[in-house]
Amino acid sequence: MIKKIAILTSGGDSPGMNSAIEAIVNAAIKKKLEPYLVYEGYLGLVNGDFKKVEKKDVKFIGNKGGTIIYSARFPDFKKIEVRKKAISEMNKKGIDALVVIGGDGSYMGAAKLTEMGIKTIGLPGTIDNDISSTDFTIGFHTSLNTIVEVIDKIRDTAESHKRVKIIEVMGRYCGDLAINAAIATGAEILSTSERKLSEDEIIKQTKKLREEGNRSIIIIVSEHLYNVSELSKKIELKTGIETRSTIIGHSQRGGIPIAEDRILAKRMGIFAVDSLIAGETGVAVNLIDNKLSTKNILEIIKMKRLPRKELFNQYDLIK
């Protein structure tokens, strides 16, 4: 029977992490558990940077972006002696279980602790939506909203000046942000790691679109595919069309979480507490067809993201 539960956020921050923290703390207290916050992710776990909290300490944090308990990259957590130090710090506080909110790298840390006897559960907190076991990750919808808002504004100026605009969005090697943004904004050209266009293909499509009378042309690309500054120069040189590039960058991570992410985070946080009380460990919470479930973390890490064929087909019909 667990009595004390700790919460940490790890990896890149995502909107909705604070909503998850709030829900976990409140649910834990309702279930007669003592909640603790861990500051600075796994680094804080090793340093014993814990704080016992009450409901008043997390009141209204759900409408804040980022993570109030901070995050840190900490590759040394891969070392067993470092993890032993973390477990020692947890034992000093009598902490029985740990909730980890983050992406696949954060999940790996939780899996390693599970192997060493710590009860753990993961929540998918990443804007990229690149965790294959869940339909949506915490932060994805807010990030997508940010991207759409930026592209809509860029469209205004591109239309005014008869320009081509290349927009680079985040997502690492997952194109979910790009494809959904392209559908939402009516972007004329899309390139992701799942369906990458060559630079020549982009130039060819750009020429054709201008010949068809398109005044503004929006090109959405996922990060890590091109040097968008150089690509814009090539497009302008080969087509004669004024071309500019924009890397939206870390503004996609920040901002007030929208309703979808707050609700998803709170549902998942409550489910995580219930799952730990029921004896589950070494698992992560997922949302599939609007139903919550858990799955082994190591299995999740090995899963491949299914291709978004339906989304790409829909985009092709409306672009």
Based on its alpha-carbon atoms, the radius of gyration of the chain, rounded to whole angstroms, reads: 22
pLDDT surpasses 90 at 276 = yes
Catalytic residue among 128, 130, 176, 261: 128
Percentage of residues in the chain with pLDDT exceeding 70? 100
pLDDT at 72 over 90: no
Region 147-172: mean pLDDT is 97
Q: What is the pLDDT of residues 13-66, one digit of tens each?
A: 999 999 999 999 999 999 999 999 999 999 999 999 999 999 999 999 999 999
pLDDT of residue 11: 93
Instruction: Write down the pLDDT at residue 305.
Output: 84
Mean pLDDT on 249-260: 96
Question: 152 pLDDT band (50/70/90 cuts)?
Answer: very high
Going by pLDDT thresholds of 50, 70 and 90, the confidence category of residue 73 is confident
Q: Is the pLDDT of residue 319 over 90?
A: no
- Is residue 34 a contact partner of residue 75, using CB atoms and an 8 Å limit? no
Domains of the chain: 4-139+257-302 (3.40.50.450), 141-253 (3.40.50.460)
d(CA 259, CA 157): 29
Give tens-digit pLDDT for 203-224: 999 999 999 999 999 999 999 9
Alpha-carbon distance 35 to 45, whole Å?
A: 14
What is the chain's length?
319
- Residue 40: per-residue pLDDT: 97
pTM tops 0.75, yes or no: yes
Phi, psi for residue 78 in degrees, rounded to 5: -65, -20
> How many whole angstroms from its chain centre is CA 281?
22
15 burial via Cβ count (<10 Å: 0-12, 13-18, 19+): buried
- Active-site residue flag, 176: no
**pLDDT tens-digit readout, 102-117:** 999 999 999 999 999 9
Phi-psi label, residue 240: left if phi above 0, alpha if psi -120 to 50, beta otherwise: left
User: What pLDDT is stored for residue 1 in this prediction?
Assistant: 87
Write down the mean pLDDT value for the chain: 97
Burial of 289 (0-12, 13-18, 19+ CB in 10 A): exposed
Q: What is the pLDDT of residue 118?
A: 97
Residue 10: CB atoms within 10 A of its CB come to 31
The 10s digit of each residue's pLDDT in 118-137 is: 999 999 999 999 999 999 99
| 3-state SS record for the chain | CCCEEEEEECCCCCCCHHHHHHHHHHHHHHCCCEEEEECCHHHHHHHCCEEECCHHHHCCHHHCCCCCCCCCCCHHHHCHHHHHHHHHHHHHHCCCEEEEEECHHHHHHHHHHHHCCCEEEEEEECCCCCCCCCCCCECHHHHHHHHHHHHHHHHHHHHHHCCEEEEEECCCCCCHHHHHHHHHHCCCEEECCCCCCCHHHHHHHHHHHHHCCCCCEEEEEECCCCCHHHHHHHHHHHHCCCEEEEECHHHHCCCCCCHHHHHHHHHHHHHHHHHHHCCCCCEEEEEECCEEEEEEHHHHHHCCCCCCHHHHHHHHHHC
Percentage of residues of the chain with pLDDT beyond 90: 96
Instruction: Report the pLDDT averaged over residues 4-11.
Output: 97
Q: Which residue has the tokens 């558990």?
A: 33
